[in-house]
Amino acid sequence: MNTEKKEGVDFRWVGIPFITLLVACGGGSGNDSNPPDTAGSTQNTLKGSVFASAIDGASCEVTDSIGNVVSDPFTTSVDGSYSVILPSDRRAEDLIVECSGGTFTDEATGLTNRTAGFMAAHIAGGTANAGNTIHVTPSSTIVHDLISQHGKTAMEATALFTDAFGFSPDYTTAPTDASAPAHGAGPASLLSGLRAATFSQLANDLGLLSTAQFSLFSALAADLSDGTLDGHNASGAITIDGTSTELPVDIQNRFVRALVNFRNGRDASGLANSTIGILPFAKTAMTDNYKIDYLPGMHTAVNGKTEFTLKISDHNDTAQTGLAVSIKPKMNMDGMVHGTAFNGTCDESATTGEYGCTVYYLMPSIMMNDRSMGFWELKVMVSGHDGEHVFFHPSVTMAMGDTAQVRLKGRDDKISSSINHEADNGTGNDHDGNTMHAAVRNHPEDDNTGGMTNETEARTYYLFKNALTGMTGNHSFEFFIAAKENMMHYPGVSAGTTLNSGDMDYELSIVTMSVEVSTDAINWVTATDHGGHGHSGQWVANNIDGLTDGTEAVLYVRLVVEGEQKTTDGATPNALPATNDANNHYAKFIVTPGGSGMSM
């Protein structure tokens, strides 16, 4: 059994309950009784599968942590399943299921009768509330290598894996082939299978043969051994055994893209985007000529204004200057995709090779208790639409503290309803030529009129807080205003903006626009349009009285476009008193001026 894996192994790990094993009465292979072993103690059955996808005919055994075999050899069935008897006097020990060989069908390519390599899983013993089912997967194999080859404890190995790949391994759930799920497979099995298939897709994306993914598992563990999944460890670059391929420095980003690529390809799991978990936010990505690093701003990505920097260098880490850098964010929810407001171009800063970018996220991707709403996809383009590009997947959280965004609606100001507005052009691609996600491919996306219906909706105006500066008695409030054209377009709005340009039914040319700010909804300060000083949609109201540093207060914002006052509900302005909570005349920002960074 793969003696290479055991040479020079330092098992400096403790029996922490990493994967637990319950000693269950009852035998496998159709036996209903529990025959005694040679020492007269009760024997116990361990069941599970070996999966990458299901591996038929894998040769397996169970060993202890120093390599002593504690089971008879056993072989997996056509569905990858196995059953083996373990002596009960070994149940308190940390044990290892080791398998190699057999054949499988590669999920990413559909190729059949591929020869499998080494796979393994560790079982932490000595616990009373453990399970008797262990599934050997790509995840368990990477964790095994971190423990057996790189001296990590089970707890350390699990933490490293979870941080790098965005999910905690669960080897008690039976995976099913995500490209051809078993009938009746539940969500947990589908998700486990999808995660296994992602490693198959990653191997394919790296140009490896499907059989080389088993060497890839070892390379990923070697990479993680120094704590970071970045293509290197303490010894330098890592070459995948049996190939001439080195792990790229953006291997974490490649893993995330492999998940997306599989979803756009052979994924038949039917899992919704909100059920696949929170994607790891890999902050380095490579193009043919550039290395692009995402550098967070003052805070991580949040629902509302998010500033960040893109550091762009060549493959030798030489900063690249004078580039045309643009971005395009997109949210992948369940059954639909949509865009958000953003500054399309990123401005080069005083630091050579660094480009400042701003996105105004309409919604978080992560809600309370780490519940996913889907995932954001940030496309970064160098030298325009047809240039080199990469994707990042920021985890966008809920904004805390001051109000990050508010919304007002028109009445006669209408747009085509967003129903069915996300159009597939018939090729499975969006208008940028990017493949769409399997879960949303039946929802058309078009930038202009494709997928439109005869239904209409009130146009929504989004107001995002930029900053609140100044001092008591004299504050300035800076904010950004965007308007919805369709599900993908939310351009900034200033006087001179034309919305839905060229659309004979919904075009709106904005000649006059009034924006006012107040602390009492009675006395108003006119905001100035700064759209001509950078990116369209930037507004600022100066000389605001009535705010006290350190004290929470309300800022009211009133918006009139082409003579129509926008309201919170899209109805006619009501006759309620100015400060009545049901007054629909204005949006309300809760602010705390002079706070420790909360005002910005």
Query: Buried b vs exposed e over 509-541: b needs ≥16 C-beta within 10 Å?
Result: eeeebbbbbbbebeebbebebbbeeebbbbbbb
The encoded tokens of residue 530 equal 């700064």
Judgement on whether residues 103 and 161 belong to the same structural domain of the protein? yes
**What is the structure's pLDDT at 2?**
47
Domain end, chosen from 165, 180, 210, is at 165
Please spell the DSSP secondary structure of 499-552, one letter per residue: ETTT-TTT-EE-S-EEEEEESSSSS-EEPEE-TTSSSTTEEEEEEE-S--TTS-
- The whole-number average pLDDT for the span 156-173 is 95
- The whole-number average pLDDT for the span 59-77 is 95
Residue 31 has pLDDT above 90, yes or no: no
User: Mean of the per-residue pLDDT values for the chain?
Assistant: 86
Judgement on whether residues 409 and 556 belong to the same structural domain of the protein? yes
Residue 358 sits in a domain whose CATH number is 2.60.40.10
Q: CA 443 to CA 169: how far, in whole Å? A: 33
**What is the structure's pLDDT at 443?**
35
Judgement on whether residues 75 and 121 belong to the same structural domain of the protein? yes
Q: CA 551 to CA 542: how far, in whole Å? A: 19
**What is the structure's pLDDT at 430?**
39
Residue 352 has pLDDT above 80, yes or no: yes
Judgement on whether residues 31 and 159 belong to the same structural domain of the protein? yes
Residue 53 sits in a domain whose CATH number is 2.60.40.1120
pLDDT-derived band at 203 (thresholds 50, 70, 90) equals very high
pLDDT in tens, 268-324: 999 999 999 999 999 999 999 999 999 999 889 999 999 999 999 999 999 999 999
pLDDT in tens, 384-422: 767 899 999 999 999 989 999 999 999 999 999 864 333
Judgement on whether residues 499 and 363 belong to the same structural domain of the protein? no
Residue with more model confidence, 81 or 7: 81
Residue 453 has pLDDT above 90, yes or no: no
Residues 533, 355, 316, CA angle at the centre, nearest 5°?
Answer: 160
Q: Given the DSSP bridges, would you call strands 43-50 and 133-136 parallel, antiparallel or unpaired?
A: parallel
Residue 18 has pLDDT above 90, yes or no: no
Element spanning 156, H or E: helix 154-165
Query: How many independent structural domains does the chain possess?
Result: 3
Count CA within 13 A, CB hemisphere, residue 132.
18
**What is the structure's pLDDT at 578?**
85
pLDDT-derived band at 27 (thresholds 50, 70, 90) equals very low
Residue 597 has pLDDT above 50, yes or no: no
Domain end, chosen from 112, 144, 165, is at 165
Count CA within 13 A, CB hemisphere, residue 502.
3
Judgement on whether residues 482 and 468 belong to the same structural domain of the protein? yes
Cβ contacts of 371 within 8 Å, gap of 6 or more: 274
Judgement on whether residues 390 and 412 belong to the same structural domain of the protein? no
HEC secondary structure over 217-243: HHHHHHHHCCCCCCCEECCEECECCCC
Place of tokens 């499998």: 116
**Residue 283's CB: how many other CB atoms inside 10 A?**
17
The encoded tokens of residue 458 equal 């009130």
Residue 600 has pLDDT above 70, yes or no: no
Residue 476 has pLDDT above 80, yes or no: yes
Judgement on whether residues 367 and 469 belong to the same structural domain of the protein? no
Region of 8 on the Ramachandran plot (φ > 0 left; ψ -120 to 50 alpha; else beta): left
- The whole-number average pLDDT for the span 551-557 is 96
Q: Given the DSSP bridges, would you call strands 337-338 and 325-332 parallel, antiparallel or unpaired?
A: antiparallel
- The whole-number average pLDDT for the span 493-506 is 94
The encoded tokens of residue 305 equal 């204004």
**What is the structure's pLDDT at 291?**
98
Residue 519 has pLDDT above 60, yes or no: yes
**What is the structure's pLDDT at 595?**
58
Residue 223 has pLDDT above 70, yes or no: yes
Residue 181 has pLDDT above 60, yes or no: yes
- The whole-number average pLDDT for the span 72-80 is 97
Q: Which domain holds residue 508?
A: 405-419+455-591
Q: Hey, is 573 helix, strand or coil?
A: coil
Q: CA 327 to CA 325: how far, in whole Å? A: 7
**What is the structure's pLDDT at 33?**
35
Residue 243 lies in a domain: no
Judgement on whether residues 362 and 468 belong to the same structural domain of the protein? no
Residue with more model confidence, 586 or 87: 586
Residue 573 sits in a domain whose CATH number is 2.60.40
**What is the structure's pLDDT at 535?**
67
Judgement on whether residues 522 and 564 belong to the same structural domain of the protein? yes
**What is the structure's pLDDT at 361?**
98
Judgement on whether residues 385 and 479 belong to the same structural domain of the protein? no
pLDDT-derived band at 226 (thresholds 50, 70, 90) equals very high
Name the nearest CA neighbour of 22 among 69, 72, 91: 91
